[in-house]
Amino acid sequence: MTMKKVTYRQAINEALFEEMERDPKVVLFGEDVGTYGGVFKVTDGLKKKFGNERVFDTPIAEAALMGAATGAAVAGLRPVVEIMFMDWIGIAMDQLVNQTSMIPYIWEGIKVPLVLRTQGGSGSKGSCQHTKSLEAWIYHVPGIVVAMPSTPYDAKGLLKSAIRNDNPVAFIEHKMLYPTEGEIPEGEYTVPLGRASVKREGKDVTVVALSKMVVESLKAAKELEDEGISVEVVDPVTIKPLDMDTIAESVKKTNRVVVVNEAFRTGAVASDLTAQIQERCFDDLDGPILRVTAPDVQVPYSPALEQFWLPGKDKIKQAVLECMKR
């Protein structure tokens, strides 16, 4: 397969472009996604190509966005709706839990094939209202598939699968990943939902990392290699449903686990992965599963303070070394 180098941003743009071209029922809407092409320019060019009924800017009204996407999906479209920053997903959570997720289970025979695109993550000097990672809230809602790709390859292929899938899918991007580059095939391909991906093989410690934390974990793994520690980095890619088999296989080999998640520590997805892993792999574990997360603190603005909040390479290394004491 011929490969090409694209950014994470372009990869997502391509997926949207191709799926909208393939299927006239795919529509895309949200705040500033149309004329301007999105505040992160992810949806650039789509309105021009597909017109104002299929790609459009909306009023600032996140509950209506989520609800309208749900209704549109019920009535025959395949909407991709954008909530610009995950920080304000709270405005849409009632719609998500009481409409989107309720409908397929209770209203038998009705499907809700929508994709909720949003982005989280810090590191942008955005202070506490533009940097939160609240995937734990969405993750707790039954019937929603939750994906958090970390590479351009996964992002494109997975978004295409998400659009074609008949379940509501939350597709969570990371603002700091948009400019990162990676290889993707020239032609059509998809990445299946629900499959983890081993981003690096290793034998001493399994690091299960989400979204941008995969990138940080790979950096940590590289540095640890020099110290003679072999780290396996597993990226669940889809966090719900979780590909526990791939994780368990890795743990069987390494007997040590670090879970990395850029989110408030208490009640994070990292906790849930930890609970699941210890349940399934208890006898394989040499010591406790360690979690690298952000603290339970709002993300402060000052660059001098942001560093205390951010999880990343160094904290991951520390945790791996801690594990190695077992």
Partner 1 sequence: MSEVSLSREKLVDMYRKMWLARHHDVWVEDMKTKGQILGSMHLATGQEAVSVGACAPLNDDDYTMHTHREHQQLIAKGADIGRMAGDMLGKVTGCARGKGGHMLLFDKDVHALGACGIVGGGVPVAVGYAMAFKVLGTKQVSLAFFGDGAANEGSVHEAMNFAAVRKYPIIFLCENNRWGLTCPQHEQAAVEDLADRARGYGIPGVTVNGNDVLAVYEAVKLAVDRARAGDGPSMVECQTWRMRGMGFGDTMEYVPKEYLEEGSRQDPICLFEKKLVEKGILTVEEARAIEAETKKTIEDAYEAAKNAPNPDESVFWANVYAAEIC
Ligand X SMILES: Cc1ncc(C[n+]2csc(CCOP(=O)(O)OP(=O)(O)O)c2C)c(N)n1
The residues in 85-114 that bind partner 1, with binding defined as CB under 8 A, are 87-88, 91, 94-95, 98-99, 102, 104-113
Q: Is 88 in the site for ligand X (CB under 6 A)?
A: yes
Closest-approach residue to ligand X (CB): 88
The count of chain residues that interact with a copy of itself, using the rule CB under 8 A, is 56
Check if the beta carbon of residue 274 is closer than 8 Å to that of residue 267. Answer: no
Active site includes 140? no
Give min distance, CB of 193 to partner 1, in A. 5
Among candidate residues 9, 47, 54, 130, the one labeled active-site is 130
Work out the number of other CB atoms within 10 angstroms of the CB of residue 25: 16
Interaction between residue 137 and a copy of itself (CB under 8 A)? yes
Q: Cα separation of 141 and 21, whole Å?
A: 31
Q: Where are the alpha helices (DSSP H) in 91-203?
A: 93-95, 102-106, 135-139, 152-164
Closest CB 205 distance from partner 1, rounded Å: 28
CB 114, CB 92: distance < 8 Å? no
Task: Print the binding letters for residues 290-319 with partner 1: x by CB under 8 A, - otherwise.
Answer: -----xxxx-xxxxxx--xx----------
User: Does 126 sit near a copy of itself (CB under 8 A)?
Assistant: no
Share in percent of the chain as helix, strand, coil (round to 5)? 40, 20, 40
Q: Could you say which residues in the range 132-191 bind partner 1, by CB under 8 A?
A: 142-143, 145, 161, 165-168
Residue whose CB is less far from partner 1, 161 or 274 = 161
CA distance 124 to 40: 12
**Could you say which of 7, 180, 190, 276 contacts a copy of itself (CB under 8 A)?**
276
Q: Give the interface segment with a copy of itself, choosing from 14-22, 73-81, 111-119, 283-291 (CB under 8 A).
A: 283-291
Residues 6+ apart with CB under 8 A from 75: none
Residue closer to ligand X by CB (options 14, 32) is 32
Long-range pairs of 61-65 with CB within 8 A, sequence gap ≥ 24: 62/88, 62/89, 62/91, 62/92, 63/91, 63/92, 63/94, 63/95, 65/29, 65/30, 65/31, 65/92
Q: Strands 257-264 and 205-209: what pairing?
A: parallel
Residue 154 and residue 285 in contact, taking contact as beta carbons nearer than 8 Å: no
Q: How far apart are CA 252 and CA 243, in angstroms?
A: 15
Count the site residues for ligand X by CB under 6 A: 6
Which window, 31-39, 109-117, 181-189, 292-300, contacts a copy of itself (CB under 8 A)? 292-300
Return residues touching ligand X (CB under 6 A).
Answer: 31, 60, 62, 84, 88, 91
Active site residues per annotation: 130
Return residues touching a copy of itself (CB under 8 A).
Answer: 63, 87-98, 101-102, 105-106, 127-129, 132, 134, 136-137, 139-143, 240, 263-264, 266-272, 274-276, 278-280, 282, 285, 287-291, 296-298, 300
